[in-house]
Copies of this chain bind each other. A is one copy, B any other.
Amino acid sequence: MKDVTNDLVLDRILNAERNRLWRCWTEPKLLEQWFCPKPWHVTDAVLDLRPGGEFSTVMHGPEGEEFPNTGVCLEVVAGRKLVFTDAFTPGWRPSGRPFMVADVSFEDAGEGRTHYVARAMHWTEEARKEHEAMGFHEGWGKAADQLEDLAKSL
């Protein structure tokens, strides 16, 4: 009986191998290359791949905007699944405003392709609408294109 009302979902077949996509998600130097739709970009990625381990980035905009994001991993299944949230900082410390949980999964789809599902689950309808208005579908879609390109190039 799960209520998916406040979920936003990107569900795609990517033309890249699962393990290469996983590397792009989990190696900081690779993550920084695709995680934000250009002309935005990410620096200072930290990924401690265990429950409670830090997952943080700093997003930079073309006008010099700078947004640090700190969160933690909740679940890590190597090559298959990564769940993280901004609801805590390391040490399970509640952070200002819990916005979302992201659940990203990777499944082989044959012929070197991967079924990629990125699900953003929100605590409130307000947060979901805000994320939608920020351009979830376009933003995560463009980022997925960048991810696919980078993974193919490895």
The answer to the question of A32 belonging to the interface, with a C-beta cut-off of 8 Å to chain B, is no
What mask results when residues 102 to 136 of chain A are scored 1 for a CB within 8 Å of chain B, else 0?
01000000000000000001110000000000000
The one of B88, B89, B95, B100 that contacts A94, using a Cβ cutoff of 8 Å: B100
- Given the known inter-chain contacts A74-B51, A74-B92, A75-B92, please indicate yes or no for A123 contacting B98, CB distance below 8 A: yes
| Number of chain A interface residues as a range | 20 to 34
The answer to the question of A137 belonging to the interface, with a C-beta cut-off of 8 Å to chain B, is no
Instruction: Please state if B101 and A88 are interface contacts (CB–CB under 8 Å).
Output: yes
In whole angstroms, what is the CA distance A115 to B74 when docked?
A: 28
Instruction: Please state if B2 and A91 are interface contacts (CB–CB under 8 Å).
Output: yes
In whole angstroms, what is the CA distance A26 to B92 when docked?
A: 20
Instruction: Please state if B121 and A93 are interface contacts (CB–CB under 8 Å).
Output: yes
The answer to the question of A37 belonging to the interface, with a C-beta cut-off of 8 Å to chain B, is no
List 14 A-B pairs, Cβ < 8 Å.
Answer: A2-B89, A6-B94, A52-B74, A74-B92, A75-B92, A85-B92, A87-B98, A88-B101, A92-B103, A93-B101, A94-B100, A94-B123, A97-B123, A98-B123
